[in-house]
Structure 1
C-alpha cells in the first residue's frame, strides 16, 4: 500500500511539474535581438521564396515589440475593426474617416489593434497616423488597402509626396496577411523625369509622386507579413527612426517602374531586415545618410538596382554611415549588385561595411564603389569626398552581366578608399565572355584568396593619410 501511495504521489508531482513548465513556456515573451555572427540558424515556419535564402529572424537590439502573430499576445488585445467605424471596403468609397476614427480609439488603449479585415478593399486618401499612443499598438491589414487610383483621382488638398505616414510612435506594429496596393501605374508615366523604356527607349517619369508608406521620428517598430506592391515612388521609407524590425515582407513593382525603391532608410539606427522578397524598378534596399547598425539577412532581391548605400554627399553635404551587414542574400537580374555611391564634394565617412554569403544571378556591376555618382554630365571633380574604409566582400559567388565589369572600384582622386577586403569572390559570365577586367581607381585593400576574375588593380597598403581628418570623422 505504501508503494502504491508513493507511486501515486510521484505521478501527481510529475503532472504538476509538467503543467507549471507548460504555463511558463506559454507566458514567454520573445524579444528580437541581433544574432551573433556565428549563431546557428533554425528552420523558420515562413519561406519567402522556394529558391530564396531563409533565416530565422535574428535576435535584435534595441528591443522591439514581440511578434504580433504570437497568440500569447493577441488574446489580450482590443480590436478596433474599421468596418465598425463606417468603412465600406468596396474599393471605391472613401474610407479615410473610418480608419482615422479607429486609429484614435486604438491609440488610447494598450495593445490596441486597428483591423482592416479580409475580403474587403479599402480606399483611403493621404493620411498621417500620429502618436504618441499607448504602447503595443497594431495596424493590421488582412484585406486590401490602397490610395486613390493615380494623380487624376488624388485630392488636390492632399500631399502628393506621401500616402500613409506613421509619425511619433513607439512600440507600434504594422502587419497582416493582406496587400497594400499602390496603384502606381499612372504616376510612373508622368512627363517629368526620363527613365529607361523597352528596347533601349526613353520614357517620361514621376514628378512629385507619393511614397507609399513612411515612418517618421518613431522607435521600436515592427513591419511584417504584408504584400506591398506597385508604389508610385518608394514603397517604404524610414526617416529619423530607431529600432526597426522588418520581417517576411513581399515588395514588388515592374522592372521599369521609376524610383520605386523597395525599402529606404535614412537617419535611422538599429535596423533588421529579414526573410523578405523584393523586386522593383530601383534599389531593392537603399541606405541613406545618418544610418548605423543595419543588419540585412535572407533577402531575395531582383529585378532591381541592387542593394545600395547612398547616394551620399550630394550638394557638398555631410554623410555618416557605419556598421552595415548584408549576408545570406540572393541578387538576380539586377542592374547593380552591392553598390556604394557618393557624390563628389561631400564629407563624412562610410565605415564597417560587410557583404557576406551573397549569391549573384545575372547581375550587372555586381560589386561597385562609385565615388563619381552624378545624374547629369555637368558634375565637376572636387577635392573632398565621403571617405570609404573597412569594406569587406566575403563569399560572393554567381554570374554577372558582361556589359560591365563585375568589380568596379572608382574612388575619389583625393580621398582614397582604404581597407577593402576580398575573400572567396567568384563571379563568372552569365553568357558570353568578359570584355574588360575589373576596374580600380585609388582603391587600397587586400585579397585573402584569389578572386575570379583576378583583381590585380587593388593597391596594397593603407593609402595616404587624410589632410583634414575632421572632415571625414563621424
Structure 2
C-alpha cells in the first residue's frame, strides 16, 4: 500500500508542476460575469452552472472563480467529462437554501470529472440548523434523507484542499466510485448533536488520501464503506463525533470487500468511538482485511478501540444470524491516551466468522474514575500481542 501512495504523490507533483508551467494559457471564468450576485439571498444556480459549462468545455486549463462574498446557491450538479483539468477556486462563502431541500439528494455534486482541483479557502455552508429538526432517521427507517453538501461520483486524479464545510444538512463530503483523490487541509464543522452529519464517507472508491484536516461533527469523522480499498487517513483531528469507522458492512446484498485501510498519526478528542469496525448480524458475506491503526492519541474517548459485529443502531433489527463479515489482518500499534469508560478495548466478533490475525503492539489506554482501571473485552478473536499494554489484551 505504501508504494501505491508514493506513486500517487509523485503523480500529483508532476501534474501540478505541469499546471504551473502552462499557467499562461489558463482561462478564468468568474461567476460574476455570468450574473452571480453576492447578496446572500439571490439563487445563483444558473450563473454557476453556465460558468461551469464554459470552463468544462475550454481547451486548456480553466478556473471557475468564486470571489469573496456570500452567494446563495440552489442544488447544482457539475458534470463532466471536461476537455482539460479544471479548478474550482472558491474564495467566497456559498450558502445552501434554508430548510429541507425540495427532493435533492445532494446540494453540490461533481461527477465524471478527471483532474479536478477544489481550493481557495472558502466555505460551503449547508445551513444545517434550518433542517436538522426534519431528520427522523433514528426512529423512521423510511426517513427522508437530507442533502449531502459535496457529492463526488466517478471523480478521478483530483485534489480538494484549503476549504471549509460548515453545518451540512447531512454528510459533508461523500465519494462514490472515485479513484486517486487527495483531501488535505480541510475543516469540517458541525455540532456534536447534529444528526447524520458524517464528515467524509467513502464507498466503492480506491486510492483516497485524507490528511492534515480537522473534522468535528455529529456522526463519523470518516466512514469507509463497501468496495473501498487503499484508503489512507493521516494527521486528522477528530472530535466531537463518532470516530473513524470501517463499515457498517453486511447489510445489503452485493456488498464488496474492504481492504487496505490505514489510520495514522491522528488525534481523537471526546469522541464516542475511536477506531471502529462494525458489521450487521446478517448472512451477507464480505471480507474486511489489511487494516493498520498506528500512532494514535485518544483523549477521553468513550470506546477507543472497538470491533462490533452485532451493530444495530435501531431497536427493530432482525438479529437471527451471526455476521458473515470476515474481519482479518488488523494491526493496532502505538495507541495511547485516556478512555472515558472502563472498557477501553471491545472486540465483539462474529461467532461464525471469528476475527483472524488481530495484532496489538504497545497499546496503553488508561481510565480514571470510580469504576476502576481500564479493561478489555473480547469474544471470538484470534490474535497476538507484543510490547507494553494496559489494559491487558483479552485474546
- Following superposition, the deviation at residue 194 of structure 1 comes to 3.9
- The question of 1:386 aligning with 2:335 is answered no
For residues 73 and 388 of structure 1, do their structure 2 counterparts lie closer, same or farther at Cα, with a shift above 3 Å needed? farther
- The question of 1:400 aligning with 2:339 is answered yes
For residues 428 and 436 of structure 1, do their structure 2 counterparts lie closer, same or farther at Cα, with a shift above 3 Å needed? closer
For residues 160 and 108 of structure 1, do their structure 2 counterparts lie closer, same or farther at Cα, with a shift above 3 Å needed? closer
CA distance in 2, matches of 1:162, 1:141: 19
* Matched position secondary structure for 2:110: strand
Pick aligned residue for 1:207 from 144, 169, 175: 144
1:220 equivalent in structure 2:
157
Q: 5 Å matches for 1:236-315?
A: 236-315=173-252
1:461 equivalent in structure 2:
none
Q: 5 Å matches for 1:152-191?
A: 154=101, 156=102, 159-190=103-134
Query: 1:348-376 deviations in whole A, cap 9, x for unaligned?
Result: 20110000000110101100000111122
Contact preservation (8 Å) 1:64, 1:171: no
* Structure number having the greater strand percentage: 2
In the superposition, the TM-score normalised over structure 1's length comes to 0.78
Q: 5 Å matches for 1:392-471?
A: 392-402=331-341, 405-429=343-367, 431-434=369-372, 437-455=375-393, 457-458=394-395
CA distance in 1, matches of 2:256, 2:44: 41
- Following superposition, the deviation at residue 108 of structure 1 comes to 1.4
Specify the structure having the higher radius of gyration (Cα): 1
* Matched position secondary structure for 1:84: helix
- The question of 1:350 aligning with 2:288 is answered yes
Q: 5 Å matches for 1:294-373?
A: 294-315=231-252, 317-345=254-282, 346-373=284-311
CA RMSD of aligned residues (A): 2.4
Contact preservation (8 Å) 1:68, 1:175: no
2:48 equivalent in structure 1:
99
Corresponding residue pairs, total: 389
For residues 313 and 424 of structure 1, do their structure 2 counterparts lie closer, same or farther at Cα, with a shift above 3 Å needed? same
CA distance in 1, matches of 2:362, 2:19: 40
- Following superposition, the deviation at residue 130 of structure 1 comes to 0.3
- Following superposition, the deviation at residue 135 of structure 1 comes to 2.4
Gaps of 5+ in 1: 1-33, 38-56, 196-204, 459-474
- Following superposition, the deviation at residue 444 of structure 1 comes to 0.7
CA distance in 2, matches of 1:223, 1:191: 28
Contact preservation (8 Å) 2:374, 2:390: no
In the superposition, the TM-score normalised over structure 2's length comes to 0.93
